């Protein structure tokens, strides 16, 4: 991000007053006034710039690997049709050769470090390395086949045409990719967005080191610090201090931030611990900058942003290709479920409409990923004039608000089936922590007031079913232990996620739903 004070987007004195005013109003006073914790107008203005997501470099690199494999494979087959040689290869043999050359080329390009962002940004510098990797693989592979099967002049000519076409594609491909990566980086489409926690000299030194990286893809979006202006200036290395750590949580909820970098020395153990207690609930990477620490660990203990060493504290769950795999899993199984269950859904809709007045569907506002509020679909199970969209009053056994049909579909969880449409929209996953209503509570206490770190369950998309539900923690939350155990199971799921785990939960769900003890 360009330094904001240079772009004229805000007045420093006005920012100083806004931050100062915000710092003096703590969360308790806001709560007493009936307000929700917020951020100052300048921080809100900056947050608006980062609401949309970015392209993950990991995803882009993976897509490029796949593209180069498929294209080199196609070139090998097309070369056979245009120059079949003496015909001794045959289409099957050429396909095997093309697949081996393509796969080994991708491996060689990876070993030559030509899939790093710095390599992809360079138009010319890494081209010799990429060309050499392809040439070595091609010569060794075709040479080995030739020794085994013999090589005629006509076949050698066809290999030469294949080699030239493959090399030409690689040069053009890498040049165009470099143009695209540079443009995406310039436009902020492909970047890692970071917020620095802690101001003063450590933050200033960190920013200077990041700015010195030739191929830096980190965009610093601002600084948050609890300390006053005497110890933490309003401006650090040209970047604004936007508020306190409590306001940082709200800021990240409003944006698509990738990383929080804590710019504090390891010796500030107590302060780091207090920061982490507030920040670990967020779906972001949390790293501790280690550039200024005298204490040194083994090299493998560090991750690096450019040449700046970092200690990884928390990692964002279900990221990059894992998120792609989970989304594909959701779409595939949700589509199958709709194809199999549509007769039950149609029959339920008719029964709901025929037995009580009101709409077939009921929409309720619930917490989604990163505390975003989403509208969750359900079949209506209550009388319309008694429905409770806020869910402040949980449904209890024998609740008079529930219709006859509603009692059955709630026990069998048929009322949840319309949430398959939420899955296809991308608001829910098939498997994940169950979404709770925004104002859900137990004995007049919000869930977040009962469970420390409750909102950490929102670091992933909520699900139609979940690990807590198949272990019996479903239905009414009428005491503190129920929400504590439910949250503990949700956090276990997040920390241990895998597609196999999702598959296990998905196939156990119908079996466990036979136990309707807590469903009413």
Domain boundary among 187, 210, 237: 187
**Residue where the block lists tokens 């799921």:** 493
Same domain? 149 vs 107: yes
Q: Look at residue 519 and tell me if it is in a domain.
A: no
Could you tell me what percent of the chain has a pLDDT over 70? 84
Note whether residue 517 is domain-resident: no
> Could you give the strand order of the β-sheet that contains 285-289, starting from the edge strand earlier in sequence?
235-236, 239-243, 218-224, 192-197, 259-262, 285-289, 308-314, 303-305
Residue 520 inside a domain? The answer is no
Q: Could you tell me if 61 and 49 lie in one domain?
A: no
182 falls in which pLDDT band (50, 70, 90)? Answer: confident
Identify whether residues 165 and 62 lie together within a single domain: yes
Residue range 28-84, pLDDT digits in tens = 444 333 334 567 888 888 888 888 877 888 888 999 999 999 999 999 888 777 766
Using alpha carbons, select from 483, 437, 479, 442 the residue that is nearest to residue 462: 437
Q: What is the pLDDT of residue 320?
A: 86
Look at residue 460 and tell me if it is in a domain.
yes
Considering the domain architecture, whether residues 157 and 74 belong to the same structural domain is answered as: yes
Q: At what angle do helices 245-254 and 41-48 cross, to 10 degrees?
A: 30
> Does position 295 have pLDDT exceeding 70, yes or no?
no
Output the pLDDT for position 513: 74
- Asked whether residue 16 carries a pLDDT value surpassing 70, the answer given is no
**Number of structural domains in the chain:** 3
Describe the chain by its helix, strand, coil percentages, rounded to 5: 55, 15, 35
Give domain status of residue 336, yes or no. Answer: yes
User: 160 and 198 share a domain?
Assistant: no
Query: Residue 189 pLDDT > 50, yes or no?
Result: yes
Of 140, 168, 187, the position where a domain reaches its end is 187
CB 224 within 8 A of CB 247: yes
pLDDT at 3: 46
Phi, psi for residue 516 in degrees, rounded to 5: -105, 20
% of the chain with per-residue pLDDT over 90: 29
Burial of 488 (0-12, 13-18, 19+ CB in 10 A): middle
Tens digits of residue pLDDT in 162-172:
899 999 999 99
Work out the pLDDT band at 292, boundaries 50, 70, 90: low
- Secondary structure of 296-310 as H, E, C letters: CCCHHHCEEECCEEE
**Sequence-ordered strand ranges (E) for 368-487:** 373-379, 429-431, 441-442, 445-446, 463-465
- One domain, residues 127 and 229: no
Contact present, 248 and 276 (Cβ < 8 Å): no
Give residue 99's pLDDT band: very low, low, confident or very high (50, 70, 90): very high
Confidence of residue 215 (pLDDT cuts 50, 70, 90): low
Same domain, 164 and 203: no
Within this chain, do residues 365 and 449 fall inside the same structural domain, yes or no? yes
CATH number of the domain where residue 300 is located? 3.40.50.20
Over the stretch 409-456, which tens digit does the pLDDT of each residue have? 888 888 899 999 999 999 999 999 999 888 777 777 788 888 888 889
31 & 108 share domain: no
Domain that holds residue 136: 57-187
DSSP string, 322-372: HHHHHHHHHHHHHHHHHHHHHHHHHHHHHHHHHHSSS-SEEEEEEE-GGG-
Same domain, 222 and 261: yes
28 assigned to some structural domain: yes
pTM of the model: 0.80
Q: What is the pLDDT of residues 325-356, one digit of tens each?
A: 999 999 999 999 999 999 999 999 999 988 88
Q: With respect to residue 197, please indicate whether it lies within any of the assigned structural domains.
A: yes
Question: What tokens does 121 get?
Answer: 């940004």
Phi, psi of 33, deg, nearest 5: -85, 0
DSSP label at residue 226: S
Q: Is the residue at 80 inside a domain?
A: yes
| Shared-domain flag, residues 449 and 348 | yes
Give the domain-ending residue among 294, 314, 334.
314
Task: For residue 256, give both structure tokens.
Answer: 């698509």
One domain, residues 335 and 307: no
| pLDDT tens track for 112-125 | 989 988 788 887 88
Q: What is the 3-state secondary structure (H, E, C) of 20-54?
A: HHHHHCCHHHHHHCCCCCCCCHHHHHHHHCCCCCC
């Amino acid at each position: 991000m360009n330094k904001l004070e240079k772009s004229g987007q805000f007045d420093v004195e006005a920012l100083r007053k806004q931050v100062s005013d915000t710092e003096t109003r703590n969360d308790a006073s806001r709560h007493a006034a009936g307000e929700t914790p917020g951020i100052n107008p300048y921080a809100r203005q900056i947050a608006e710039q980062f609401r949309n997501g970015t392209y993950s470099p990991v995803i882009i690199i993976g897509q490029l690997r796949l593209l180069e494999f498929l294209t080199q494979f196609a070139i090998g087959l097309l070369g056979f049709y245009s120059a079949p040689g003496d015909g001794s290869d045959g289409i099957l043999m050429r396909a095997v050769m093309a697949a081996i050359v393509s796969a080994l080329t991708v491996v060689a390009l990876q070993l030559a470090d030509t899939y790093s962002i710095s390599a992809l940004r360079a138009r010319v510098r890494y081209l010799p390395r990429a060309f050499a990797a392809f040439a070595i693989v091609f010569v060794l592979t075709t040479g080995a086949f030739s020794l085994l099967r013999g090589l005629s002049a006509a076949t050698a000519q066809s290999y030469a045409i294949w080699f030239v076409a493959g090399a030409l594609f690689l040069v053009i491909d890498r040049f165009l990719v470099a143009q695209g990566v540079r443009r995406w980086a310039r436009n902020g489409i492909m970047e890692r967005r970071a917020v620095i926690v802690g101001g003063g000299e450590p933050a200033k030194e960190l920013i200077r080191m990041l700015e010195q990286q030739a191929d830096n893809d980190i965009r610093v979006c601002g600084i948050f610090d609890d300390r006053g202006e005497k110890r933490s200036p309003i401006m650090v290395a040209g970047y604004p201090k936007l508020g306190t750590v409590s306001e940082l949580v709200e800021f990240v909820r409003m944006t698509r931030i990738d990383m929080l970098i804590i710019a504090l020395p390891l010796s500030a153990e107590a302060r780091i611990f207090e920061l982490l207690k507030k920040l670990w609930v967020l779906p972001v990477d949390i790293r501790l900058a280690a550039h200024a620490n005298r204490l040194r660990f083994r090299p493998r203990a560090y991750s690096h942003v450019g040449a700046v060493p970092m200690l990884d504290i928390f990692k964002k769950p279900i990221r990059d290709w894992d998120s792609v795999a989970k989304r594909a899993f959701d779409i595939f199984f949700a589509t199958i479920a709709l194809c199999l269950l549509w007769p039950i859904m149609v029959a339920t809709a008719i029964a709901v409409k025929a037995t009580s007045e009101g709409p077939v569907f009921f929409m309720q506002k619930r917490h989604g990923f990163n505390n975003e509020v989403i509208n969750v679909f359900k079949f209506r199970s209550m009388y319309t004039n008694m429905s409770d969209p806020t869910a402040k009053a949980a449904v209890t056994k024998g609740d008079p608000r529930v219709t006859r049909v509603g009692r059955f579909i709630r026990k069998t969880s048929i009322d949840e089936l319309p949430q398959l449409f939420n899955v296809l929209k991308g608001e829910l996953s098939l498997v994940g922590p169950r979404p709770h209503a925004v104002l859900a509570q137990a004995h007049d206490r919000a869930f977040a007031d009962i469970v420390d770190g409750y909102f950490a369950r929102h670091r992933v998309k909520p699900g139609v079913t979940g690990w807590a539900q198949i272990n019996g923690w479903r239905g009414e939350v009428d005491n503190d232990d129920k929400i504590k155990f439910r949250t503990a199971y949700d956090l276990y799921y997040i920390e241990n996620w895998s597609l196999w785990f999702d598959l296990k939960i998905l196939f156990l769900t119908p079996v466990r739903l036979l136990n309707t003890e807590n469903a009413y």
